[in-house]
């Protein structure tokens, strides 16, 4: 019975937790061929050890050396180990002088649970690229809120790593390129391109710091110390498997929490399988575009949807915290500074 009670117990958070002092965000060092990349699982556990082997092979194929976190093969329910152990791997990878950057193996759920146990002083003292997307949004936002270095919203270690993903990742993380992000041109024989189009919500150009990630995960951080200020930021969002009424609910919450009111601009990426299949949900009468028009198009700042990031086979890598410019009419996003040194 004691074991069952321990398994079912709620996460044990510190009794008192002083907010980490905010500080200037630093640019992390660029990745070089031969560098060591730390592998962590801050969220859901991988199904089997071979999944980690495949990630290691991908890292080696990039010309890099993988290094496993101490608890990477742990399991606690659906999580990749206890909260404190997953947080310990985050802290240890930032502290390890041999580790150049940190790659999250997969998303799922759980990154928010470990945030109170990370040593944020260590994170601030050791600027490094933290790489991943989806549930890794919780870590991206927390690093930004706590004054850490720029991070990279890009493929997880277990992602497919197709040509587009790899080229975008290397351009930002290896070369420090000031990329211009635009959707690929469809190759199908059509008079007018129909696939992979962006849609303007509000026209114009805007500049600001890139902040954002997965809509569901970001919304769940509202009201916590782990969500940074979005004043004058370019907010970017994506999601997967969310019906229209849930998108409506989350954007309503972000608006009422004050996140949307002072933005410089908005880019909504891919919302993969974001529809209520039988139309019976509370939002069945609204399309995704209608909801984005209501919540984002009404802000009076440049905004567009359909950018090439999110839960898709290939995606662009966006540096969280870096200064960028969006052109909502052209459907492009351009970095105004290198994200690495």
> Is there a single domain that holds both residue 191 and residue 147?
no
Interatomic CA distance for residues 214 and 327, integer angstroms: 21
Q: Please, which residues have CB within 8 angstroms of residue 238's CB and are 6 or more apart in sequence?
A: 133, 213, 214, 215, 268, 269, 270, 271, 309, 310, 311
Q: Which residues pair with 333 in a beta bridge?
A: 181, 326
Burial of 222 per CB tally in 10 Å (0-12, 13-18, 19+): middle
Interatomic CA distance for residues 160 and 310, integer angstroms: 13
Find tokens 């567009």 and name the residue. Answer: 304
> Is there a single domain that holds both residue 221 and residue 312?
yes
| Residue 35's CATH number | 3.40.50.10740
> Is there a single domain that holds both residue 36 and residue 134?
yes
Res 284: pLDDT: 53
The active-site residue, picked from 311, 316, 317, 325, is 311
> Is residue 199 in some structural domain?
yes
SS3 call for 200: strand
> Is there a single domain that holds both residue 152 and residue 187?
no
Per-position pLDDT tens, the chain of length 341: 444 444 444 444 443 333 333 445 789 999 999 999 999 999 999 999 999 999 999 999 999 999 999 999 999 999 999 999 999 999 999 999 999 999 999 999 999 999 999 999 999 999 999 999 999 999 999 999 999 999 999 999 999 999 999 999 999 999 999 999 999 887 778 888 888 899 999 999 999 999 999 999 999 999 999 999 999 999 999 999 999 999 999 999 999 999 999 999 999 999 999 987 655 455 458 999 999 999 999 999 999 999 999 999 899 999 999 999 999 999 999 999 999 99
Find tokens 């996460």 and name the residue. Answer: 11
The active-site residue, picked from 41, 56, 71, 134, is 134
> Is there a single domain that holds both residue 132 and residue 204?
no
> Is there a single domain that holds both residue 115 and residue 194?
no
The active-site residue, picked from 56, 71, 165, 238, is 238
311 in catalytic set: yes
Looking only at the bridges linking them, the beta strands covering 233-240 and 332-335 are: unpaired
Count of the separate structural domains present in the chain: 2
Interatomic CA distance for residues 228 and 120, integer angstroms: 14
> Is there a single domain that holds both residue 114 and residue 203?
no
Res 6: pLDDT: 44
SS3 call for 112: helix
| CB 228, CB 141: distance < 8 Å | yes
C-beta neighbour count of 89 within 10 angstroms? 25
> Is there a single domain that holds both residue 291 and residue 254?
yes
Token pair listed for 325? 């410019």
Q: How many Cα atoms sit within 13 Å of 82 on the Cβ side?
A: 13
Token pair listed for 154? 């890009």
> Is residue 78 in some structural domain?
yes
pTM strictly above 0.75: yes
> Is there a single domain that holds both residue 203 and residue 292?
yes
C-beta neighbour count of 54 within 10 angstroms? 13
Question: What residue ranges in 69-149 does DSSP mark as E strands?
Answer: 99-104, 129-132
> Is residue 20 in some structural domain?
no
Q: Note down the domain range covering 128.
A: 25-161
> Is there a single domain that holds both residue 186 and residue 157?
no
Res 277: pLDDT: 63
> Is residue 231 in some structural domain?
yes
> Is there a single domain that holds both residue 296 and residue 323?
yes
Nearest alpha carbon to residue 95 among 65, 70, 75: 70
Find tokens 């002088």 and name the residue. Answer: 97
| CB 93, CB 69: distance < 8 Å | yes
> Is there a single domain that holds both residue 67 and residue 201?
no
238 in catalytic set: yes
Buried b (16+ CB within 10 A) or exposed e, 239-278: bbebbbbbbbbbbeebbeeebbeebbbbbbbbbeebbbee
Interatomic CA distance for residues 146 and 122, integer angstroms: 11
């Amino acid at each position: 019975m004691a074991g069952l009670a321990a398994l079912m117990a709620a996460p044990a958070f510190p009794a008192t937790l002083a907010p980490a002092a905010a500080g200037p965000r630093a640019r992390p060092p660029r990745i070089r061929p031969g560098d060591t990349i730390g592998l962590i699982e801050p969220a859901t556990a991988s199904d089997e050890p071979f999944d980690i082997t495949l990630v290691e092979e991908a890292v080696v194929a990039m010309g890099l050396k993988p290094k496993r976190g101490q608890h990477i093969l742990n399991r606690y329910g659906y999580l990749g180990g206890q909260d404190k152990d997953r947080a310990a791997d985050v802290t240890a990878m930032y502290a390890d002088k041999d580790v150049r950057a940190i790659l999250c193996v997969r998303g799922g759920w759980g990154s928010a649970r470990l945030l109170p146990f990370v040593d944020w002083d260590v994170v601030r003292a050791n600027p490094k690229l933290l790489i991943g997307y989806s549930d890794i949004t919780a870590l991206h936002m927390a690093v930004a809120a706590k004054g850490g270095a720029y991070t990279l919203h890009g493929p997880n270690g277990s992602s497919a790593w197709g040509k587009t993903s790899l080229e975008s990742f290397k351009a930002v993380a290896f070369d420090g390129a000031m990329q211009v992000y635009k959707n690929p041109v469809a190759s199908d024989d059509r008079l007018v391109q129909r696939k992979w189009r962006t849609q303007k919500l509000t026209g114009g150009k805007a500049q600001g710091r890139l902040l954002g990630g997965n809509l569901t995960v970001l919304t769940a951080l509202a009201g916590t110390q782990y969500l940074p200020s979005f004043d004058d930021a370019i907010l970017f969002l994506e999601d997967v498997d969310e019906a229209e009424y849930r998108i409506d609910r989350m954007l309503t919450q972000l608006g009422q929490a004050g996140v949307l009111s002072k933005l410089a601009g908005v880019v909504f990426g891919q919302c993969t399988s974001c529809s209520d299949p039988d139309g019976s949900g509370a939002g069945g009468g609204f399309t995704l575009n209608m909801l984005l028009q209501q919540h984002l198009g009404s802000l009076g700042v440049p905004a567009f949807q359909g950018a090439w990031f999110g839960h898709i086979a290939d995606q662009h890598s966006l540096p969280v915290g870096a200064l960028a410019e969006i052109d909502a009419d052209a459907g492009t996003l351009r970095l105004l500074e290198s994200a690495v040194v």
